[in-house]
Amino acid sequence: MRSFLTMLGIIIGVAAVIILVGLVNGQMSYMTESFSGMGTNQITVNLVNLSTRSVSADQMYEFYEDNEQYFGQMSPSVSVNGTVKSGNESLTSTSITGVSEEYLDLKSQELQAGRFIQYSDILSRQKVCVIGYYLANELYGGASKALGQTLKVNGQAYEIVGCVERQTSESDNVDEGGSDDFIYIPYTAAMKLSRNGTINNYIFTTKDTGNTETVKALFDAFLFPIFKNEDLYTVTAMSELLDSLNSMIAMMSMVLGGIAGISLLVAGVGVMNIMLVSVTERTREIGIRKSLGAKKRTIMQQFVIEAAVTSSLGGVIGIILGCVLTGAIGTLMGMTAVPTAGSILISFSVSVGIGLLFGYMPASRAARLNPIDALRSE
């Protein structure tokens, strides 16, 4: 029982290190995948257009064409607040966005049926739309059945010309207001629908995320002379947000790993205490062995090995427990959490090292005992 209680601290400490590092890495992978789905090569430009200082879509397209060596695609993004109706169905949580013909490729999405918005639709402000997976199935029973149907956005009828493939994974629910509940319309039609004469949001993709700083400098050189105030525009690179997020999560991982490491240190103190008690209880045995010719080195090795074995066994049990719980907790949290080889190796090495380090002092005390004094003890 005493040995088990000694190992318990080691078990908890090792398991805690493996679980915490596994969960943090799982969260990091989840966030990275989420950002990748949004496009790590995307740059979002938000403008505050004033009556005297503004940028038109034509000006932004001219900037895009002048610097096409840096950009992949570009699309205005006009959000529309409103209600979507189809027959007796009415939806208020559907995302309605005015976009260009490049938006589908920009978002790395695929069509399930039909076509996407075309340049001719934008020029003539055609009342056509492309809908998401949720609307296609919820309102019409499938993408093929949705094509050619008409739905109303804020009372204006739009013909469905295309349906986008499902964006969520098969294991996730497709709900109203989710990532599959959206409508794309030509941005010129969206401007008319929202009664907004200017566009405040643009999305670009870069050909190389390594050019992010150069591209942001180009935007500053283009926008600042027009707005003459940096507060009237923002240029946000998704790659920079992802880097900041990864740095923050890595810092969190180090902090949590440090906290778990403290529990291992406390467990080491427990190992030392138990070994000191063991030396006290076995003083007479040590005296007999020394009187029979046992050397100091032999006595020291005995107690150091006992401490190392106790810590190693606790480390092995902790690794098994940590690996099992990491996967189980990750599943409960809805993410994939896998124990890392680094956390297993480090935690086990530390547990063995703690056994050797904290077992040395009791072992040294046992080796220094005088055989005569040891034999007199009861």
Under DSSP, is residue 169 helix (H, G, I), strand (E, B) or coil?
Answer: coil
Helices 283-291, 238-281: axis angle to 10 degrees equals 70
The Cα 261–Cα 258 span in angstroms is 5
Cα–Cα distances (Å) from 86 to 90, 126, 128, 151, in that order, read 7, 19, 14, 5
Q: Which tens digits make up the pLDDT trace of 157-186?
A: 999 999 999 887 766 677 777 888 899 999
pLDDT at 376: 60
CA 80 from chain center: how many Å? 30
Q: What is the DSSP string of 325-337?
A: HHHHHHHHTTS--
CA 221 from chain center: how many Å? 33
Which residues are CB-contacts of 230 (< 8 A; sequence separation ≥ 6)? 220, 224
pLDDT at 307: 77
Which residues are CB-contacts of 83 (< 8 A; sequence separation ≥ 6)? 90, 91, 92, 153, 154
The Cα 116–Cα 114 span in angstroms is 7
Looking up tokens 């999560």 gives: 249
pLDDT at 371: 65
The Cα 84–Cα 138 span in angstroms is 13
Partners of 138 in the beta sheet? none
107 in Cβ contact with 127 (< 8 Å): no
Query: What is the pTM (predicted TM-score) of this model?
Result: 0.64
Q: Give phi and psi for 281, each to the nearest 5.
A: -70, -25
pLDDT at 32: 66
Residues of the chain with pLDDT under 50: none
18 in Cβ contact with 12 (< 8 Å): no
Please name the residue ranges forming H helices in 42-141: 57-66, 103-106, 119-123, 133-140
pLDDT at 75: 93
